[in-house]
Amino acid sequence: MTEHAPLELERFLPYRLSILSNRISQAIARDYQSRFDLSMTEWRVMAVLARFDSQGLSASDVAARTEMDKVAVSRALARLVAARRVARRTHNGDKRRSVLRLTATGWKVHDAVAPLARTHERELLAMLGDDERDALMRVLDKLAPV
């Protein structure tokens, strides 16, 4: 008789991680989308621009910081600029580079979304014990260091 040793998908780590991550991301994305007409990628761009505001980031700085590819960043920025949430200027002395800042409107959105994001995270972490939370953070540090 032949032995096929099928995989138990529901215990397979990569599968479970992808289920978990998709559930969380989609729940959050739906929320941002419906409340602010803001996609996950747009929010990530805004979060980075907010955090490094003083530095006048370029699109490729944003791509590096968000781990998104430059096409995704370019498209997110196109929408954010059209919505006047981000101002795009040209770099002094390097006309290829853009210099990106949140506008006042952009900051308003940011200041509404950021607490919402924190709440989502808190709700997740509340389901875990302290020890599990710590272990999870260590796991993330080891498997996907920043």
Residues of this chain that interact with its own copies (CB under 8 A) are 4-10, 12-25, 28, 44, 47-48, 50-51, 53, 65-67, 107, 110-111, 114-115, 117-118, 120-121, 124-125, 127-128, 131-132, 135-136, 138-140, 142-144, 146
| Per CB under 7 A, 133 contacts DNA | no
Q: Is 102 helix (H, G, I), strand (E, B) or coil?
A: strand
Shortest distance, position 128 Cβ to its own copies, whole Å: 6
Helix count and strand count (H, E) for the chain: 6, 2
Which pair of structure tokens corresponds to residue 107? 């900051």
- Is residue 77 a contact point for DNA (CB under 7 A)? yes
DSSP 67-101: T--HHHHHHHHHHHHHTTSEEEEEETTEEEEEEEE
Are the C-beta atoms of residues 100 and 58 closer than 8 Å to each other?
A: yes
- Is 4 or 96 the residue whose CB approaches its own copies more closely? 4
Q: Where does this chain bind DNA (CB under 7 A)? A: 39, 41, 58-61, 68-75, 77-78, 93-98
